[in-house]
A and B are shown apart, each in its own frame.
Chain A
């Protein structure tokens, strides 16, 4: 969710974050999060970016063709590695599933619905992992992949403030969203966040974006309150 907020903040568009239990059903694609603008509802990063672009705001206009290709490639890398690793950790690692994911996912619902829904989601995620070949991976291998991905991101970022030098782009928003979630979510073990913390330029990057886009808007208090409550819910 944070990558969307970050992206919209970077475009200087004011947003209000609302948490709803039936959010997955309100969304047109069943995926969270989604934005509700006037009488239009758009979900998922790709369509949201295009929607915002159609309204005249775009972050990647300053890039040439090769850079745009690179940006798309890196976004796929993040989706491929980090997102899948996050899903794996949440749903395929038995300890984490029992202690954290099941309670959190099922919390808006009464028993037995909470158990049924979370088992269903777990089964779905495990099926997907099997199809792409991640089912045979152990936790160490997944962490190693995350490490490789972070190393690649860290090397690409280097000493620049953003991935494509001076201006933030969709890639920065996406990376921020994932890394911040990894760094602030409390799991059974801290290994995942430790992997990210090994790369100091990545942690500095997250802090910089947080300061610039999430704490700088003092007047728009609802956004910061919502961001802080989102943080708190992640830390639960």
Chain B
């Protein structure tokens, strides 16, 4: 069995395990491939990140970028892609490049450059998770790096002002979302029924846009108009991260509640019948008295375990 692996990354909020796209990608991949990772979220301690987050530590090796971390996990035999054909592997690389070129600038802009978003949401959130006095410096540094990256990769000569660059990158991001939606279509994951590296990357990039509540949300609104991508994010969150999908799909929650109620009613009926049977048995002298557990209307997984106990 492989040595225990530790992942240091940014923590989460708003229903997400992490706010940072790259950390989210690595976490999602680990869940898909079944790699046993202990996740350490960066909190207010002096073991502050030295810039490269997420970081995987396994025995003596320290690996920092998502692509390299995923490669390392694959070498440790945690491979989510073994069912893919060569062409699908090639498609994965191509779509990841598309995400990085077209979607990432807008994502960085929404989080770090858009003034209202940055001041009211991003900066306080990150500052609260970094130790003082680094918290005064790090968010500003991350914001400057994001702006730098956007300007250097997209701010070419015909786009002379920041507003023009912004308009272009949001156009590109919306086009990218449309392309992803078309590619996903009606299937559950990008390559059939099992999630792969591409699903991890897409989830990592889309989920922060989808879930984090910003004052300026043009990208989120565009994403909401693509229901298959929203469904994709919600599925992964509920299946792999066991977090409740609250607020954004009330219809889904209602049906889940209704199903749960029906289930507990059935289970209660069963247990009543069995109680009666038991009483009859107890009246006969040969059988010792037996205790029965009482059922409570419990949420989530607990509802299913009494059912398991009662099944023959």
A interface, CB within 8 angstroms of B = 28-31, 65-66, 68-70, 72-74, 76-77, 79-81, 127-128, 131-133, 148-149, 151-153, 155-156, 158
The answer to whether B97 touches A81 (Cβ under 8 A) is yes
The answer to whether B93 and A148 have CB atoms under 8 Å apart is yes
Interface residue? B49 (CB, 8 A): no
Contact A72-B98, Cβ < 8 Å, known A152-B89, A158-B87: yes
Contact of A73 with B98 at beta-carbon distance under 8 Å, contacts A66-B182, A153-B90, A155-B87 already known: yes
The contact of A131 among B90, B93, B149, B185, by CB within 8 Å, is B149
- With A30-B156, A72-B179, A152-B93 in contact, do A77 and B98 touch (Cβ < 8 Å)? yes
Among candidates A28, A30, A131, A155, residue contacting B153 with C-beta atoms closer than 8 Å: A131
Given the known interface contacts A73-B94, A77-B97, the answer about A133 and B65 at a Cβ–Cβ threshold of 8 Å is yes
Residues of A within 8 A of B102 (CB): 76
Contacts of B97 in A (CB 8 A): 73, 76-77, 79-81
B74, chain A: closest CB distance, angstroms: 13
Give the docked Cα–Cα distance between A77 and B286 (Å): 77
* Cβ contact within 8 Å between B156 and A70: no
Asked whether any CB of chain A lies closer than 8 Å to the CB of B239, the reply is: no
Measured between beta carbons, the chain B residues less than 8 angstroms from A29 are 156-158
Interface size class, chain B = 20 to 34
Q: Mark B67-94, 1 if CB is under 8 A from A, else 0.
A: 0000000000000000000110111011
B181-218 to A contact mask, C-beta < 8 Å, 1/0: 01101000000000000000000000000000000000
Given A28-B158, A66-B182, residue A77 in contact with residue B93 (CB < 8 A): yes
Q: How far is the CB of A178 from chain B (nearest CB, A)?
A: 14
27 contacts between A and B (CB under 8 A): A29-B156, A30-B156, A30-B157, A31-B156, A31-B157, A66-B183, A69-B179, A69-B182, A73-B91, A73-B94, A73-B97, A73-B179, A74-B94, A77-B93, A77-B98, A80-B100, A81-B97, A127-B152, A131-B145, A131-B152, A131-B153, A132-B153, A149-B93, A151-B90, A155-B90, A156-B87, A156-B94
User: If A133-B65, A155-B86, A155-B87 touch, does A69 touch B183 (CB 8 Å cutoff)?
Assistant: yes
Q: Which of B6-60 contact A (CB under 8 A)?
A: none
Residues of A near B145 (CB, < 8 A) are 131
Across the two chains, which residue of chain A brings its CB closest to B183? A69
Task: Judge whether B278 is part of the interface by a CB distance below 8 angstroms.
Answer: no
Chain A residues with CB under 8 Å of B90's CB are 151-153, 155-156
B95 at the interface (CB under 8 A from A): yes
Bound Cα distance from A77 to B153, whole angstroms: 15
- Asked if B114 is at the interface of the complex by the 8 Å CB criterion, the answer is no
Considering the complex, give the chain B residue whose CB is closest to the CB of A171.
B94
Provide the bound-state CA to CA distance between A68 and B89, in Å.
18
Q: A127 CB to closest chain B CB, in angstroms?
A: 6
